[in-house]
Amino acid sequence: MRKLFQDRVTSLSITILLICLLASLIFPKNFPTFENLSQVLLNLSIDTIVAVGMMLLLIAGMFDLSVGSVVAFSGGLAANLMFFHQVPVPVAILAGLLSAILIGWVNGYLIAYQGVNPMIQTLAMLGIVRGGALLVAGANIQNLPYWFNAIGQARLLGIQMPVWYMLLTVAVFSVLVNRTVFFRRYYYIGGNEKAAELSGILVKRMKLYAFVLSATLAGIAGILLASRLGAAMSTLGRGLELRVITAVILGGASLQGGVGKIPGALLGALFMGLVANIMIIARISGLWQDIILGIILIAAVWLDLYLQKQSRGNSKI
């Protein structure tokens, strides 16, 4: 039973099934419908894509607080180029993604090669990039080209495309992390950075790559969000970093690094998405959602610490 509880992917999957069953019994007309559940998946699709990158960073023992600002900036830059400068859609999207890659590279370089604390660096970048998002997107940019909006608003089998992009991202990174030596190295770095370096792993370069990958996924999420809404706003992604870190820790990552599975990012985001959806159906005030989010984060961190103590206790036996 303890092993089942410690496998966060399994225990969280069971918890989600129980929540769905309970919600279906309490709200039989509103919760277990195709429209409601597909809307839940759509709402968490952007968070999950960003959470995959955050999971990779936490496995390596790092985190990035600037991802929400990157979401706003990449989408805002692409929208600015299309709306004000009539830049073709593919070029504008590429510019948005390149800007995200550049932000990730700056974060990674200063943290890995210059020794800047990840929290200070990414917190500073959060403010800088949020200001940049305000410059490029202003209060709101609407009336974006049809083909750009189609990327996020088209449907496949009745489900909007961001959900499929989310599932594709989780599947691809799950295979990469489980099957490739390159991504497995992040577990060694998160478990014991000094030992990983002595074993020949280029730790600084791997850290740089992790920040670039995380920012790139945030950039993709920003493009998708602007496309889905048909508009870009400087406020997009505000508070996203808190939701994503909470989801990833719920999904099995540890603030100490070295553990975590990519599907856990999806399950953590799904858990939070379901909680938010049930509160809406129950007509609980939106003001309570931030309070409950904070409580869930504290509970997730406490659970992480508890499991670490249990693990250390077992290793001494």
Question: So where are the chain's domains?
Answer: 9-21+30-303
The tens digit of pLDDT for each residue in 74-130 reads 999 999 999 999 999 999 999 999 999 999 999 999 999 999 999 999 999 999 999
The confidence score (pLDDT) of residue 5 equals 59
The confidence score (pLDDT) of residue 317 equals 44
DSSP-derived 3-state class of residue 160: strand
Say if pTM beats, i.e. exceeds, 0.85: yes
- The whole-angstrom separation of Cα 299 and Cα 246 is 10
Mean pLDDT lowest for which of 152-156, 171-175, 252-256, 309-313? 309-313
The gap between the terminal CA atoms of the chain, to the nearest Å, is 19
The confidence score (pLDDT) of residue 246 equals 86
Closest listed residue to residue 124, CA positions, set 66, 63, 209: 66
Place of tokens 């083909």: 147
The confidence score (pLDDT) of residue 311 equals 63
Beta strands in the chain (DSSP E): 155-156, 159-160
Architecture of domain 9-21+30-303: Orthogonal Bundle (1.10)
Angle at which helix 146-153 crosses helix 89-112, to 10 degrees, equals 60
256 or 304: whose pLDDT is higher?
Answer: 256
The tens digit of pLDDT for each residue in 41-58 reads 999 999 999 999 999 999
The tens digit of pLDDT for each residue in 194-247 reads 999 999 999 999 999 999 999 999 999 999 999 999 999 888 888 898 889 989
CA atoms within 13 A on the CB side of 172: 10
**CB-based contact 125:143 (threshold 8 Å):** no
DSSP-derived 3-state class of residue 65: coil
